[in-house]
Copies of this chain bind each other. A is one copy, B any other.
Amino acid sequence: MTSDSGAAEPGTIEPIPAAPAAPAEGPLDPAALDRLFRAARTHNAWQDRPVADRTLEALYDLVKWGPTSANASPARFLFVRTAEGKAKLKEALSAGNIEKTMTAPVTAIVATDMEFHERLPFLFPHADARSWFAGNAALAEETALRNATLQGAYLILAARALGLDAGPMSGFDKEKVDALFLAGTGWKSNFLVNLGYGDPAGLFPRSPRLSFDEACRLL
């Protein structure tokens, strides 16, 4: 991102400098844990409050650091925020996802570059990682999907870390999104994430979670 001499676009989160010293030990403060996990919700209604393109750059500047296998970084993010883009996306949405997506300031299409290994000579320069995948389509596909999905989760949590709310969705016609947005790219849609500032009035009651004993084992 470049620095601006003029006034910032509304909805801009400016670049955030690195902390002056190494992070302190121990957990983040309770408010940060609430923001990221415990009080965060999947939003269905949105405040009339913009999200600037520079904020999307700040968002990617967090997401990109999340770990992936061999640093393969296979996710691609299409940030749909114009009326034209939203109208195109609408054609592919499940009925229940239309209104919240049309009213969200931005909808991210989290996509997977199925040819991600072509970037490995740059991304993983200390070994011939490209060759691990170029001749093994099954491993390449599995690696692409797993790691692009991890990066989609990083997007959700990075949005929350910036003070945005996220609304992830998988109820859409993937083939249609691929045809409308990704033709000729070698990218495939994975899931969608609405981004903006949620309106708590649109929240459903929170659903229960599995207990530690139901979901975990100590071995």
A: residues with CB less than 8 A from B are: 13, 16-19, 21-40, 42, 53, 56-57, 60-67, 69, 71, 73, 75-82, 85, 119, 122-126, 143, 145-146, 149-154, 156-158, 161-163, 166, 168, 170, 181, 190-191, 204, 207-210, 212, 215-219
Interface of A is mostly: mixed
CB pair B37–A18 under 8 Å, yes or no, is: no
Q: How many Å lie between the Cα of A212 and that of B55 in the bound state? A: 12
Q: Which residue of B lies closest to A153 (CB)?
A: B153
A16 touches B23 (CB 8 A): no
Q: Name which residue of chain B comes closest to A27, CB basis.
A: B162
Are A30 and B18 touching (Cβ within 8 A)?
yes
The complex places the Cα of A67 from the Cα of B62 at a distance, in Å, of 19
Residues on the B chain within 8 Å of A145, using CB: 145-146, 149
**Docked CA distance A181–B218 (Å):** 12
- On chain B, the residues within 8 Å of A217 by CB distance are 76-79
Given A38-B65, A157-B157, do A60 and B216 touch, yes or no (CB 8 Å)? yes
Contact between chains at B119 and A218 (CB < 8 Å): no
Chain B residues, CB < 8 A from A190: 146
